[in-house]
Amino acid sequence: MRVLGLDIGSRSVDAVWLEGGRPLDAAVTDSGFDPQAAARTFVDRGEHDVIVATGYGRHAAREAFGCEVVTEIKAYALGASVLFPEAASVLDIGGQDTKVIALGPGGKVIDFEMNDKCAAGTGKFLEVMAKALGFDLEEMAAAALAADGSGIQISSMCTVFAESEVTGLVHRGADRAAVARGLHDSIAKRTLSSLKRVGATGPLVFAGGVAKNAAMVELVRTGFDGEVLVPEESQTVGALGAALSHGAGAHE
């Protein structure tokens, strides 16, 4: 049986095709204005027997495709623990949300936390800040990585306030790289305290789009007490987990 796992997020729609527990193919596309339409392009390939959807668009997908649904939390837990059976916790920083999960045996969720309704500290946040600094995303991460961490602190995590804080700093002639470093530092700090709150231990699987950001990975690695693993396909962990949840006591 072929299972199509869909992770329908606000920034991207990710797909993984699975057969007998082994991934056959994976794909990622922008959500655009109509995430369900983006998801439909994968469904229309007709290369599946069953669909399981996760992500914020999962309920709409259930309406549209009559598929099974599973939450992102369970999907990431399953995906991460199949990629890394030794994983004890998961961190996912996606386009608009952040989740941390403490895992028990067999990828069971023991505790989790998600950020609140705003985009503080997420991929979207980094995009806005990069723009304010006149960098593209990679440049910003590279600059942050190269800068030393003694300098600037960003006190605000609200996207709107942080943006004006950053603009203010740049206007006062602050070093852009140091500001970039400050931004990454503050996100890492927030993330690490969230990990602490759920009692996350190593090895930690760092997934989601922001796991491609070398500076974030480095800072989490430095601050986290345990090993940090980054999957090669960090963006499709949720879709993989959704596909894996089929037959594994999927909810609803």
Partner 1 sequence: MTETAAPDYHQMWAELGLDLPTHDMLLQAVGGMYGDAYLTQPNRPEGTGYLDFVLSEVHGLRIKELDDFRKQGGKVVGTFCLYVPEEIVRAAGAWCVGLCAGAEFAYDQVEQIMPRNTCALIKSFMGFKLAKVCPYIESSDLVIGETTCDGKKKAYELLGDIHNVYVMELPQTKDAKALAFWRERVAELMAKVEELTGNKVTADSLRTAIKEVNDKRRALQRIAATFKADPVPMSGKDRLLATQIAFYDDVPRFTQMMNTLADELEARVARGEGVAPKGAKRVLVTGTPMAIPNWKLHDIIEKAGAVVVGEEMCTGSRYYQDLVSEDATTLDEMIDDIAEKYLDINCACFTPNQGRIDDVVRMAKDLGADGVIDYTLNFCGLYAMEQHSVEDAVKAAGLPVLRIETDYSMEDVGQLSTRVEAFLEML
Question: What residues make contact with partner 1 under the rule CB under 8 A?
Answer: 56, 59, 70-74, 97, 108-112, 114, 116-117, 251-252
Strand partners, 69: 53
Smallest gap from residue 74 Cβ to partner 1 (A) = 5
CA–CA distance, 29 with 14 (Å, rounded to integer): 6
Strand partners, 19: 2, 22
93 vs 152 by CB, closer to partner 1: 93
Strand partners, 29: 13
Smallest gap from residue 34 Cβ to partner 1 (A) = 16
**Element (DSSP H or E) covering residue 248:** none
Strand partners, 18: 3, 23
114 vs 142 by CB, closer to partner 1: 114
184 vs 246 by CB, closer to partner 1: 246
71 vs 186 by CB, closer to partner 1: 71
CA–CA distance, 177 with 110 (Å, rounded to integer): 38
Smallest gap from residue 187 Cβ to partner 1 (A) = 19
CA–CA distance, 239 with 159 (Å, rounded to integer): 27
Smallest gap from residue 62 Cβ to partner 1 (A) = 12
